[in-house]
Structure 1
Amino acid sequence: MRSTTSELNWSGTVTYTAERVLRPASLAEAAEIVAREPRVHGLGTRHSFNDSADAPGVLLDLTAVPTDLVVDPERRTATMGAGTRYGVVAPEIDRAGFALHNEGSLPHISLGGAIATGTHGSGTALGSLSTAVRSFELLGPDGSVRTIDRDDAGFDGAVLHLGLLGVVTRVTLDVEPTFRMRQDTYGPIPWDTFTAHVAEVHAAAYSVCSYTVFGDTVSEVLLKSRVPDDADDTAVPDDLLGAPRLPGTPGDGHHTARDGSVGPWWDRLPHFPIESVPSVGSEVQSEHFVPLRHAAAALEAVRGMADRIQPHLHVCELRTMAADRFWLSPSQGEDVLCIAFTWKKHPAEVAALLPDLEARLAPFDGRPHWGKMSSLGGDAIAELYPRLRDFRDLVRSADPERTFASAFGERVLGA
């Protein structure tokens, strides 16, 4: 087991304040740590851009615990260690003849961290990564293992939990028969044309992502289309709202192939291959979810800040996500548009912009991504999440001695 201190998040902009970071090599070792330490918090792969994964005492990193993948063809499930990365386990699930319904843009993130923070891919008909969870195991304050199943009372409050209910050790996900995909790029689309047809554009394929810097156009739209099992390929349109299909790029070790070539789902759903190091941490991120019915108005509101946003912006990616019923989900109750900013590594300047940006999104019930930069405090969050009080009760019941408490949980959730 390895122990270190003074560790940073992926972008190098958050220094964890915990006394130690421990990396057990087995679940038994992890259980012993939780039972022994007065304050423990789970740590994923450090792709959060705030202190949501930080806490006093010990941070527990399970990335060294073996994946131990178990695929059940009859139940159509795959069970694996929560510390495993999507890009590592996805090809193994594919070799067993199955697929996950979606992945995030980065395959480098761990299952446990992604699920706990409501991380997602894109697709108007697709739920977040958390919606695939059938059940999960977590270590309680005494180190004992508890299993929470989809049929259990409180499941909808427990799946997306920000580490406040315990340390998740294993996750069982729904899977489906494996499939193939292609990625095609279109653009540019004039801004007014795009905003008049946001929902239409994002329903044009299985998964759709759009890119802009809030100028006169949406520069590129990326369509990820499923290829039928009985076909060598699938037809895609020659244009999208008049914008041509672009040549795209083959897989180059940095991006997954965007040239219309057919490949496995696990190599087309993410934007990057597992072997790459996207942006080498030279960025910070914020992401804001608004109901899809407000998409055009919300985008116009943000564009009104273009002159202030652009000097600090790499690109803004627009994605959609289907409604779910999880208490802390940014898409709880309604389909959403995700406005995801990849900022230059200007954390102070971005932090100064966020209050005004989020104020512009407030009329549209803009909810922040739990793992990214935000200026919203507890009062604003409480208004956006009607089940927050129920979540606090769930935390008190599961962790009365506050073994898993964090400063972020106290400050933002009151939990």
Structure 2
Amino acid sequence: MKRKQFIRTTATAATGMAIAPLAACKSDKKVKVESKPQGKRTNWAGNYTYKAKNLYEPKTVEEVQNLVKELSTNKALGSRHCFNNIADNLLNQISTKYLAGLYHLDEEAMTVTVGAGTKYGDFAPELHQKGYALHNLASLPHISVAGACATATHGSGVTNGNLATSVVALEMVNAKGELISLDKEKDKDVFEGAVVNLGALGILTKITLRVEKTFDVRQDLFQGLPLESLKENFDAILSSGYSVSLFTDWQNGIVSQVWVKRRTDRPLKPLGETFFGAKAATKNLHPITRLSAENCTEQMGVPGPWYDRLPHFKMGFTPSSGEELQSEFFVPYKNALDAILALEQKKDVIYPHLMITEIRTIAADNLWMSPCYQTDCVAIHFTWKQHIKEVAELLPTLEATLEPFDARPHWGKVFTMSPSVLHKRYSKLPEFIELMDLYDPKGKFVNDYLKLNIV
């Protein structure tokens, strides 16, 4: 059986199993969801204004199904934390914000099912109270589960996969308005293509995540790591904790801050007052040192629950700096140090527009459209001042600098990389396009972003 035929047959079988019981109890009553009057709407950071004329906010899965059936084109909108047009549509957006909440904790299977629009920070405390944890979290707990997984948003740790790697099942509405369920074990041949889906396959409604027993984490911070020390001790520094972040403005030959997050349920050795030449911080710090640390999670080695230490920022506060731009590039771990040193040579053109750069590790996975597909990666993240024109002009230079190192951009952030380059970097792209043809044969979920970068 040919690959394309096999994918289509497998996915059709899975679809049939998922929707058969639903069809029997489906109501003939048509659910009507009115679009809300729209003024100017922007993403979280304010750098992107949505073009969609209509915004729908369904409160049930049945309402999502009816909307998808009725609308000729649409796009899911999550927590609005993407910095480009990946979640936009010229006509219609369907918000998932009311498809939220912790639906079910299966203690035997060690899984939790949440609504697709649920933000990590909204259900993580309850999960902790019940005695469980997720393996990792991004630096912001304000993002939705569906959006994070669909774009391979990641967290950190040399042994930690991105957030999408904890997905074991998902439910979505396809272009026909059918409710589709996919399971990691039962539907392996399509599941690994459907998790990091870029919003191209349907509207996610529920996601089931793998959990583990809860744990505490402590954060120890160090300042002034010499770049020469990073060169000599790269592996040791990045593997010194469960999750490690390096922050730099590329000036003065130093990494300004090192954040080492360590689980307290594992043996810990004192890190000391010096860390590979960096000095222990004496107070809580914001990654951008000049800013107040009030909105950052507790540091100074004070243990706390995983959900309140793995992120850099507290749920109840404005994350990061607020008005900003973000770009991020993943490079294979084996190329990372050389890529960092190459970027350091561009420090004079980077610095005027930069707030801070963060460097983190992410373990390899098998998700087709993940930047870490079958390769351990280091992510080099730029938080820019909102210099939209200047950053747009600078990015091609940085991308050219990273070209020899097989860099891939974060799908939800600002980049200018050529589609032809992207296509070469994703070996499973042809199979992903087949999935798009299967679940959305008429291109109902295809927007300008997908037309440019994928199809």
Shift of 1:62: 1.1
Counterpart in the other structure of 2:385: 344
Shift of 1:250: 8.6
Q: Residue 172 of structure 2: which of 138, 142, 162 is its match?
A: 138
Counterpart in the other structure of 1:183: 219
CA distance in 1 between counterparts of 2:88 and 2:270 reads: 45
Counterpart in the other structure of 2:229: 193
Shift of 1:141: 1.4
CA distance in 2 between counterparts of 1:254 and 1:368 reads: 27
Counterpart in the other structure of 1:312: 353
Counterpart in the other structure of 1:163: 199
- Indicate the SS of the match to 1:8: coil
Q: Residue 248 of structure 2: which of 212, 233, 255 is its match?
A: 212
Q: Residue 372 of structure 2: which of 321, 331, 342 is its match?
A: 331
Counterpart in the other structure of 2:140: 106
Shift of 1:35: 1.6
CA distance in 2 between counterparts of 1:134 and 1:70 reads: 14
Q: Which amino acid aligns with 2:365?
A: D
Q: Does 1:407 align with 2:448?
A: yes
Q: 1:252-299 CA distances to partner (integer Å, 9 max, x unpaired)?
A: 640000111011000001011110012453110000000111111101
Q: 1:181-213 CA distances to partner (integer Å, 9 max, x unpaired)?
A: 110101211112113322221100000001011
CA 1:211 to 1:34, structure 2 compared with 1: closer, same or farther past 3 Å? same
Counterpart in the other structure of 2:282: 247
Q: Does 1:29 align with 2:66?
A: no
Structure of higher CA gyration radius: 2
Shift of 1:4: 4.1
Counterpart in the other structure of 2:397: 356
Counterpart in the other structure of 1:367: 408
Shift of 1:138: 0.2
Q: How does 1:34-73 map to 2 (within 5 A)?
A: 34-73=68-107
Shift of 1:243: 2.0
Shift of 1:328: 0.8
Q: 1:362-399 CA distances to partner (integer Å, 9 max, x unpaired)?
A: 10000000000101121010111111111111101111
CA distance in 2 between counterparts of 1:82 and 1:411 reads: 26
Q: Does 1:85 align with 2:126?
A: no
Q: Is the 8 A contact 1:248 1:260 kept in 2?
A: no
CA distance in 2 between counterparts of 1:107 and 1:168 reads: 19
Q: Which moved more, 1:48-57 or 1:61-70?
A: 61-70
Shift of 1:44: 1.1
Q: Which amino acid aligns with 1:139?
A: V
Q: Which moved more, 1:51-60 or 1:134-143?
A: 51-60
CA distance in 1 between counterparts of 2:283 and 2:60 reads: 43
- CA RMSD after TM alignment: 1.6
Q: Which amino acid aligns with 1:398?
A: Y
Q: Which moved more, 1:7-16 or 1:243-252?
A: 243-252
Counterpart in the other structure of 1:228: 265
- Indicate the SS of the match to 2:331: strand
CA distance in 1 between counterparts of 2:329 and 2:91 reads: 31
Give the share of equivalent positions with the same residue, in percent: 39
Shift of 1:248: 3.4
CA distance in 2 between counterparts of 1:315 and 1:44 reads: 26
Q: Which amino acid aligns with 2:317?
A: S
Q: Residue 3 of structure 1: which of 36, 45, 52 is its match?
A: 36
- Point out where structure 1 has 5 or more consecutive residues left out of the alignment: none
CA distance in 2 between counterparts of 1:293 and 1:337 reads: 9
How many pairs align? 411
Q: Does 1:202 align with 2:238?
A: yes
Q: Which moved more, 1:148-157 or 1:256-265?
A: 148-157
Q: 1:24-58 CA distances to partner (integer Å, 9 max, x unpaired)?
A: 12222222211211111111111111111112321
Q: Is the 8 A contact 1:250 1:256 kept in 2?
A: no
Q: How does 1:143-154 map to 2 (within 5 A)?
A: 143-151=177-185, 152=187, 153-154=189-190
Q: 1:336-361 CA distances to partner (integer Å, 9 max, x unpaired)?
A: 11000000111111110000100010
- Point out where structure 2 has 5 or more consecutive residues left out of the alignment: 1-32, 287-292
Counterpart in the other structure of 2:423: 382
Shift of 1:90: 0.5
CA distance in 2 between counterparts of 1:57 and 1:37 reads: 9
Q: Which moved more, 1:149-158 or 1:123-132?
A: 149-158
Q: Is the 8 A contact 1:64 1:83 kept in 2?
A: yes
Q: Is the 8 A contact 1:126 1:322 kept in 2?
A: yes
CA distance in 1 between counterparts of 2:65 and 2:226 reads: 55
Shift of 1:96: 1.3
Counterpart in the other structure of 1:282: 323
